């Protein structure tokens, strides 16, 4: 009887184990289905259920990490990919994807270390070379980036994005024939964002092939008729090709859309002045003679600085800088950690842009400064159909219970001039 009892218990154990395995597989399948449908929050819930039932499933951690990556929840993605690596250190994709997540939060050295390990595990891993090349690019190490893009193409020549990035480096180095080859190759492979036509137009311009430059600027403007960089460069190319009337038409359109901002002195002739918050909590240097408006309330200090005649914090301007220091974030918003505060700020920005007539993000960079988490984006916005389109730097810093953010804006066709001023201002920023 005792033997039969043991057999019965063993059978019950097998049935329970099979039932548990079936439940885990069900949640994993639901997670995969949600991923395919791009319902990433739902996928995370399903993978979390699978992990609750069986915490040893590396596939559940890995796929949940991917969902977090798609949702730009990079610390969560890093934690899940780390859990995969902890359980199986041979997972090259986990290293590669954790490297991507590290890169997105500005931890470039950690990202490169992960890409290095992925390549060590699999020397034919083309995407790891590509991603490491992008990391080197962000560090302005173009030679190392170029070397990695070459290796990526040698391992797998089917990714057009690698040609685009390699072409960008060739262009910056003045190797215009090589840039022309890479941009053209990427387009023929189906890679057709506006930026590649813009870059190709610039390359043809550098090669004095102005008609072909104009053709590519036209492609950009088909996709966005108010792309002011393309309009500006097409006007210059029209001038070079002797089409003066068309050049003037492009310039009139630029002026009509942005409005007349007056005659500007040469940037190198400007003198700078330090603008400081009343409590000296922050300061920034901008051209002397710019006007300032202040709002100082409990836990919030706002400062606007503009060459235009502003008097109050709510006065509108085309060109200027808005700075805001927000204290006691937990008291006012229930956010206290740097991660929570940065997510809150990004969520606020996302909410605001939903009502804009036009919005385009050019770049996004994570970094650390003043012992804070930092995020800087370069965007183009147009509030309404008839309003002046603007280019902005969005600059945010978050630490425990504190958020500082700043906007540096100018009309699109003027931004190249003011960009030099804004870059210098950002370098001068002090946050106490």
Cα gap 253→309, rounded to integer Å: 25
Which pLDDT does position 264 carry in this prediction?
Answer: 65
Average pLDDT of the chain?
A: 88
pLDDT over 70 percentage in the chain: 92
Domain residue extents for the chain: 14-206, 267-431
The pLDDT confidence band at residue 375, using thresholds 50, 70 and 90, is very high
For the stretch 214-255, pLDDT in tens is: 999 999 999 877 777 788 889 889 989 999 999 889 888 877
For the stretch 41-90, pLDDT in tens is: 999 999 999 999 888 999 999 999 999 999 988 899 999 999 999 999 99
For the stretch 387-401, pLDDT in tens is: 788 999 999 999 999
Tokens matching residue 20: 């548990």
Cα gap 430→96, rounded to integer Å: 36
Please determine, for residue 99, whether its predicted confidence score (pLDDT) is greater than 70: yes
Q: What is the pTM of this model?
A: 0.66
For the stretch 122-144, pLDDT in tens is: 999 999 999 999 999 888 789 99
- Cβ-in-10-Å burial (0-12, 13-18, 19+) of 326 comes to buried
Cα gap 360→379, rounded to integer Å: 6
Third-level CATH fold of 14-206: 1.25.40
Which pLDDT does position 382 carry in this prediction?
Answer: 86
Please determine, for residue 175, whether its predicted confidence score (pLDDT) is greater than 50: yes
**∠ Cα 252 257 262 (to 5°):** 75
Report CA-CA distances (Å) from 238 to 44, 199, 215, 230, 231: 52, 17, 11, 12, 10
Please determine, for residue 268, whether its predicted confidence score (pLDDT) is greater than 50: yes
Third-level CATH fold of 267-431: Protein Transport Mog1p; Chain A (3.40.1000)
Please determine, for residue 201, whether its predicted confidence score (pLDDT) is greater than 60: yes
Please determine, for residue 3, whether its predicted confidence score (pLDDT) is greater than 80: no
């Amino acid at each position: 009887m005792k033997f039969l009892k043991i057999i019965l218990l063993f059978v019950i154990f097998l049935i329970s184990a099979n039932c548990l395995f079936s439940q885990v597989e069900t949640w994993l399948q639901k997670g995969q289905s949600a991923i395919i449908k791009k319902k990433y929050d739902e996928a995370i819930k399903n993978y979390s259920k699978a992990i609750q039932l069986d915490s040893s499933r590396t596939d559940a951690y890995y796929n949940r990490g991917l969902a977090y990556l798609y949702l730009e929840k990079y610390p969560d993605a890093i934690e899940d990919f780390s859990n995969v690596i902890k359980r199986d250190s041979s997972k090259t994709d986990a290293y590669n994807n954790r490297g991507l997540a590290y890169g997105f939060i500005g931890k470039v050295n950690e990202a490169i270390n992960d890409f290095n390990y992925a390549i060590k595990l699999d020397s034919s891993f083309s995407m790891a070379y590509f991603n490491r090349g992008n990391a080197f690019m962000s560090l302005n190490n173009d030679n190392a980036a170029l070397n990695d893009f070459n290796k990526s193409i040698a391992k797998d020549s089917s990714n057009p994005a690698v040609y685009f990035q390699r072409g960008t480096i060739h262009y910056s180095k003045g190797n215009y024939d090589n840039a022309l080859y890479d941009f053209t190759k990427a387009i023929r492979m189906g890679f057709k964002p506006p930026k590649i036509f813009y870059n190709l137009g610039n390359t043809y311009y550098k090669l004095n092939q102005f008609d072909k430059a104009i053709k590519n600027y036209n492609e950009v403007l088909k996709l966005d008729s108010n792309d002011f960089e393309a309009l500006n460069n097409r006007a210059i190319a029209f001038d070079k090709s002797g089409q003066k009337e068309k050049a003037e038409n492009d310039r009139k359109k630029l002026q009509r859309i942005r409005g007349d901002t007056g005659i500007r002195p040469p940037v190198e002739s400007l003198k700078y002045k330090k603008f400081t918050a009343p409590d000296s909590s922050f300061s920034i240097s901008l051209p002397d003679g710019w006007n300032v408006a202040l709002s100082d309330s409990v836990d919030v200090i706002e400062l606007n600085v503009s060459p235009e005649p502003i008097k109050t914090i709510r006065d509108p301007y085309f060109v200027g800088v808005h700075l805001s220091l927000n204290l006691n974030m937990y008291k006012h918003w229930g956010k206290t950690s740097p991660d929570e505060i940065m997510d809150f700020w990004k969520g606020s920005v996302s909410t605001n842009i939903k009502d804009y007539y036009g919005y385009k993000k050019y770049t996004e960079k994570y970094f650390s400064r003043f012992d804070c988490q930092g995020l800087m984006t370069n965007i183009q916005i147009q509030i309404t159909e008839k309003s002046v389109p603007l280019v902005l730097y969005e600059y945010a810093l978050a630490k425990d219970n504190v958020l500082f953010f700043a906007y540096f804006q100018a009309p699109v066709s003027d931004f190249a001039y003011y960009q030099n001023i804004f870059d210098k201002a950002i370098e001068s920023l002090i946050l106490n």
